[in-house]
Structure formats: structure tokens, C-alpha cells
Amino acid sequence: MDRSAFSQFLDDLRAQRSSVSMDMRAAFQADPQRFSRFSARQGDMLLDWSKCAVDDATMALLGKLAKACGVEARRDAMFDGAHINVTEDRAVLHTALRDPGASGPAIDGQAVGKDVASVLDAMSSFAEAIRSGKARGATGKAITDIVNIGIGGSDLGPVMVTLALAPYHDGPRAHYVSNIDGAHIHDTLAGLDPETTLIIVASKTFTTVETMTNAQTAKRWIAQALGEKAVGHHFAAVSTALDLVAAFGIEADRVFGFWDWVGGRYSVWGAIGLPVMIAIGPQRFRQMLAGAHEMDEHFRTAPLSENLPALLGLVGWWHRVVCLYPARAVIPYDQRLSRLPAYLQQLDMESNGKSTSLDGTPVITPTGPLVWGEPGTNGQHAFFQLLHQGTDIIPVEFLVAANGHEPELQYHQDLLLANCLAQSEALMKGRTLEEARTQMLAGGMDPAKVEKLAPHRVFSGNRPSITILYRLLDPATLGRLIALYEHRVFVEGVLYNINSFDQWGVELGKELATRLLPVVEGKESAADRDASTAGLVKQIFDLKER
Ligand code: F6P
């Protein structure tokens, strides 16, 4: 769509926003059908955006915008294997990873399905061998612990999924080391026995400095305890760079590959998911893939007006671009999704935190919001004050399961659900000055005190939130949830007119760190750095104890 047509849409949407009654309390009172008109389902997963300040006209305009921006055409191009990652000239086919039975689209004349299935089969055999004790450590002991060394997409997905699927975890314990800070690997290995530990080095490029440094440290840990020859028994790798893995010394039958058409932050579905597969078993891993595939099919085929990822993306874009809200909070009322906000930070902010549009010119709207969050109910006792009464409006996304995995703790689950519903209700309804006064007077408070305190107890309300409700956090549901968010980020990226699949913004810091290492080591002078950096280096040397 050309810029003037897009600007016209933007003007219409802004006008629409000013004309819409922003009083959501009144909107619910006036329209008993509001919930059913602004909610949609995929299977047992419900998306409720009725507590956002939109009406039928808003949704109709957003739907037209999506069509005019080519959301469906771009979606189809992605599924077909077109090189939609234009700045890296790559296809974007993580969706093929969760459809291992299909032949899949062709890349360079070759259907990807066969490769996907064969890596999945190899991972499954390896995972089963570790889980069953068929594959053992160098001294003949079964593997009790796996340590995944990776960062970013080679860490956040597996960490998040391992925690989320704890009730299904019946394999070796899984640990994750990502940070270059030596404390991370030190504290992780400190509790482990080298004889019973398997290290998985997970890196798409096999060059990431954090991962390679931690991998070398782990290699020394194994070699010092068990001898050089033991290393092969205690390592496996996941990478697209098979030559670099071989040079590191990991045997080919313990290397699981993937391809440049799988972005790091979209990689948990393939070999990067190996630690998850060892933890929960291949069958449950495949259930997670099947769940994601179900959401892919829904995204691919459902009309936009019933399409959960499209709707989530359109409302997210509306909040960011038309309402100009700078952030979104993701609050899972599901303790096992405690790392979902961190996972979504990479998925969303690395994908859509861009300022250059597809044609190389500066973007003409704000792009991806700040994404943050913590599980409820904990967040309620920390930052919810700001969500309810702060000067910025931050849309909140609540995620909650109707059922917990602990039937004996049903009262906990009921309290969790009540709290989740209460928060979205409070954000929407708020409390007027009159209501605050009435409540305090009814509680017997002195009227003079009531007048003083009432303004502090006012909640403006009208604060938008979305709720995603599902039956139970099982592997298939988790797969659907992650795919829902992936495609939402895709939809928003199309509307921002950016490439959601590169990440050039992480490069400069990496380059400068490489150049600063010899300075910090004292091998080069800091004199040619800026005054702040040079001053900090000097202070480091003043404080350094070794
Ligand atoms: O620094 C960003 C990044 O490139 C991410 O996109 C990626 O997930 C992460 O680093 C790790 O990269 P690799 O898997 O190549 O080690």
C-alpha cells in the first residue's frame, strides 16, 4: 500500500478513536453482546479483547487495513517459503518444523519436510537413548542432568518450555547456562556430577561469544574430571554450522542441525528443543509441535475477523500506533509461564523493534512496544499500582488456564482465576470519586478523613486488557500459545511495514565488546575511547583485585 493510502487509514482510525466512547463501563452496560462480539476462539482457547476501547467500526477499519497492507498475502508467502526475510535473503519457515509429516515447501528446489522429519527422528532416538540409559557417560553411569549452553533464541525458548511443561518432565533434570558472567556456569556446574552430566551446546551460528566461552569452560570441567577422551560422551550440539561443531570436537552422530530459514527466536520447534525433548520425551514434544501446527492452520485459513493471531496483532497495533501506548505487559496467571514474558521480549522486541521500513526508508509509525511482565498474582504486589493508577496507560495481556495440574490444590486455582478476572475488571471499571467516598463512609470513616483520602482511592478505569483463557497448560496448548504470539508479531510487523526476521540492532554492541576486550584485559590503552568509556575503564583498573 502506498504511503498516502496508509496515511488515510491512519487518519480514519485516529478519527474513529476520538469519536468512540472511551467509557468501557458504559459500553458494557449499553451492549450485552459486547463480550461475544469482541472475543474469538480457536479450539478451547479464548481470546477476549472486549475490555479494549474498540467498537465494530474500529474492528472493521482494522480489518480493512490488514487487507490493504497485505497481511494475508504476506502470510501465504511466508508459509510458501518465499524469501520474506529480505535483508538476509532468507525464507522464514519455522512453521515447517511443526509439520514434520508434510513434504513442506521447497527451498532451492528441495522440499524441506524430509530434512525436518529426519532431524526430528534423530533427536528422538538420541533423546530416548539418554532417557532410557542406553547412552551413558564415559564411566558407564546413566545421565541424570543435562546442561544446555546457549543464549537468546538458543536458550529462552527451551527454558520457558521446560518450566511450562514441568508436570510432564520425567527425564533427566534440565539446567540452562546463557550468561557470559562466569557465575552462571560456575553455580550451575557446582551442583552437578561430571560423570552423569550431558552438555548440549546450542548455537545457530556456533560463534556466539557467550556460548562458545561457556562451552569451553564446560569442556575443561569434563576433561579435568574424567579425562580428554570422556568429552565425546558428555557433549552434544545443535547448530546450523556443522563444520564449526566438528572443529569443537563433537561427534557427528551427536550433532543436530537446523537451517538458515529458522530464525533463532523461532527455533525451539526443532533441534534447539533437544533439552526439552530429553526432559519430557519425544511423544510430548511432538504434541507441542502438533498444537503449534493447529494454530498455524488456524492462522492460515481462518477469516481475519475470527483469526486469533490476526486479531491479537490488530488490537496490539491499534494500541501502539493509534493510542500511542508505549508498552504492553504480559501477565500469565500461570506460575509455570514465569519465563514467557522474557521469551516474548525476544520474540517481539527483536522482531519488531525497528526504525527502517522494508524499502529502506524510515518508518512512518511507532513500531514494536516495550514488552514486559511477571506472573500474577506476584505482579499485583509489585507493579500493578502503576498499571491501575500510574500516568501512563499500559495494555495488559492476561493468560490463564481454567484448570491447574494439581486437583488437590483446587482452592489455589480458584483464587488464581478470581484474581486474574478481578484485575482485568478493575482496570476496566476503575472506581469513581463518588464510589470511593461511599465505600469509606459505609466503612464508618470520619467524613473529614473521607474527603482527604477519597482522591487517592480513585481508579480512572478504562484501562485496556486482553485475556487469553485455555483449558490446561499441556504440551499442545503451549504449542498453540507460542504460535499465536509468533503470528501476532508477524501481523504487527506487516502493519509496521518492517522486516520482522532480522536483528541488525544487536550487532554494534557485539562488535564494540570484541574491541573493548583487550582494553579491559589491560593489553590495549583506553586513551582513544570516549571520555566516559575511558573513565570507566580507569575505575575498573582502580578497583580490580587481580
Ligand atoms: O544476539 C542476538 C542473537 O543473534 C539472537 O537472535 C539469537 O537467538 C542469539 O543471538 C543466539 O545466537 P546463536 O544461536 O547463533 O548462538
Look up the CATH number of the domain holding residue 196.
3.40.50.10490
510 belongs to the catalytic site: yes
What local confidence, expressed as pLDDT, does residue 20 receive? 66
Task: Give nearest CA residue, ligand 1 atom 3.
Answer: 152
Domain end among 230, 258, 285: 285
Do 518 and 496 sit in the same domain of this protein?
A: no
- With respect to residue 515, please indicate whether it lies within any of the assigned structural domains: yes
Do 321 and 353 sit in the same domain of this protein?
A: yes
**Cα–Cα dist 245/64, whole Å:** 48
Question: Is 22 within 8 Å of 29 (Cβ atoms)?
Answer: no
- Our mutation pick for probing the ligand 1 site, out of 205, 274, 500, counting the most ligand atoms within 8 A of Cβ, is 205
Do 62 and 120 sit in the same domain of this protein?
A: no
**Cα–Cα dist 394/486, whole Å:** 21
Helix (H) or strand (E) holding 10: helix 3-19
Do 223 and 254 sit in the same domain of this protein?
A: yes
Question: Is 367 within 8 Å of 496 (Cβ atoms)?
Answer: yes
Domain end among 230, 256, 285: 285
Domain count, the chain: 3
Do 124 and 26 sit in the same domain of this protein?
A: no
Do 153 and 190 sit in the same domain of this protein?
A: yes
Average confidence (pLDDT) over 359-385: 97
Helix (H) or strand (E) holding 289: helix 282-301
Q: What is the pLDDT of residues 23-44, one digit of tens each?
A: 899 999 999 999 999 999 999 9
CA 491 from chain centre, in angstroms, equals 15
**Cα–Cα dist 460/428, whole Å:** 9
Do 372 and 483 sit in the same domain of this protein?
A: yes
The confidence band for 141, taking pLDDT boundaries of 50, 70 and 90, is very high
Task: Tell me the ipTM for this assembly.
Answer: 0.97
Do 190 and 139 sit in the same domain of this protein?
A: yes
Provide the sign of the torsion angle of the four alpha carbons 332, 338, 343, 345, taken in this order.
Answer: positive
- With respect to residue 260, please indicate whether it lies within any of the assigned structural domains: yes
Pick the catalytic residue: 134, 412, 510, 538?
Answer: 510
- With respect to residue 84, please indicate whether it lies within any of the assigned structural domains: no
Place of cell 507441542: 288
On the question of pLDDT at 546 being above 80, the answer is no
- With respect to residue 21, please indicate whether it lies within any of the assigned structural domains: yes
Give the distance between the most distant pair of CA atoms in the chain: 81
Do 234 and 166 sit in the same domain of this protein?
A: yes
Do 313 and 193 sit in the same domain of this protein?
A: no
Average confidence (pLDDT) over 454-461: 96
The confidence band for 2, taking pLDDT boundaries of 50, 70 and 90, is confident
The confidence band for 108, taking pLDDT boundaries of 50, 70 and 90, is confident
Cell numbers at 17, concatenated: 478513536
Question: Is 263 within 8 Å of 243 (Cβ atoms)?
Answer: no
- Our mutation pick for probing the ligand 1 site, out of 85, 155, 180, 208, counting the most ligand atoms within 8 A of Cβ, is 208
For ligand 1, the distance from its centroid to the CA atom of residue 203, given in whole angstroms, is 7
Q: Domain limits at 256?
A: 99-285
Paired sense of beta strands 110-111 and 106-107, if any: antiparallel
Three-state SS string across 458-508, please? CECCCCCEEEEEECCCCHHHHHHHHHHHHHHHHHHHHHHCCCCCCCHHHHH
Higher-pLDDT residue of 527 and 161 is 161
CATH of the domain at 516: 1.10.1390.10
Give DSSP secondary structure letters for 97-124.
Answer: HT-TTS---EETTEESHHHHHHHHHHHH
Do 43 and 154 sit in the same domain of this protein?
A: no
State the distance between the two ends of the chain, measured CA to CA, in whole angstroms.
60
For ligand 1, the distance from its centroid to the CA atom of residue 93, given in whole angstroms, is 17
The confidence band for 107, taking pLDDT boundaries of 50, 70 and 90, is confident
What local confidence, expressed as pLDDT, does residue 21 receive? 60
381 belongs to the catalytic site: yes
- With respect to residue 314, please indicate whether it lies within any of the assigned structural domains: yes
Average confidence (pLDDT) over 190-198: 97
Question: Is 117 within 8 Å of 92 (Cβ atoms)?
Answer: no
Residue 401 DSSP code:
E
Average confidence (pLDDT) over 134-141: 97
The confidence band for 109, taking pLDDT boundaries of 50, 70 and 90, is confident
For ligand 1, the distance from its centroid to the CA atom of residue 241, given in whole angstroms, is 13
Do 149 and 55 sit in the same domain of this protein?
A: no
319 belongs to the catalytic site: no
Q: What is the pLDDT of residues 467-525, one digit of tens each?
A: 999 999 999 999 999 999 999 999 999 999 999 999 999 999 999 999 999 999 999 99
Task: Give nearest CA residue, ligand 1 atom 9.
Answer: 152
Q: Could you tell me the pTM of the whole model? A: 0.96
What local confidence, expressed as pLDDT, does residue 495 receive? 97
Paired sense of beta strands 255-257 and 39-42, if any: unpaired
- With respect to residue 497, please indicate whether it lies within any of the assigned structural domains: yes
- With respect to residue 91, please indicate whether it lies within any of the assigned structural domains: no
Cell numbers at 326, concatenated: 508505549
Residue 168 DSSP code:
G
What local confidence, expressed as pLDDT, does residue 105 receive? 86
Residue 377, preceding peptide bond in cis (omega within 30° of 0):
yes
* 199 CB burial (10 A radius; 0-12, 13-18, 19+): buried
Residue 310 φ then ψ, to 5° = -65, -45
Pick the catalytic residue: 350, 374, 486, 492?
Answer: 350
Domain end among 250, 285, 320: 285
- With respect to residue 50, please indicate whether it lies within any of the assigned structural domains: yes
**Cα–Cα dist 391/420, whole Å:** 22
Question: Is 403 within 8 Å of 336 (Cβ atoms)?
Answer: no
Q: How many CB atoms lie within 10 A of CB 57?
A: 13
For ligand 1, the distance from its centroid to the CA atom of residue 369, given in whole angstroms, is 21
**Cα–Cα dist 389/153, whole Å:** 35
**Cα–Cα dist 395/330, whole Å:** 9
For ligand 1, the distance from its centroid to the CA atom of residue 27, given in whole angstroms, is 45
Provide the sign of the torsion angle of the four alpha carbons 10, 12, 14, 16, taken in this order.
Answer: negative
Q: Which residues line ligand 1 (CB under 6 A)?
A: 151-154, 203-205, 208, 211, 264-265, 350, 503, 506
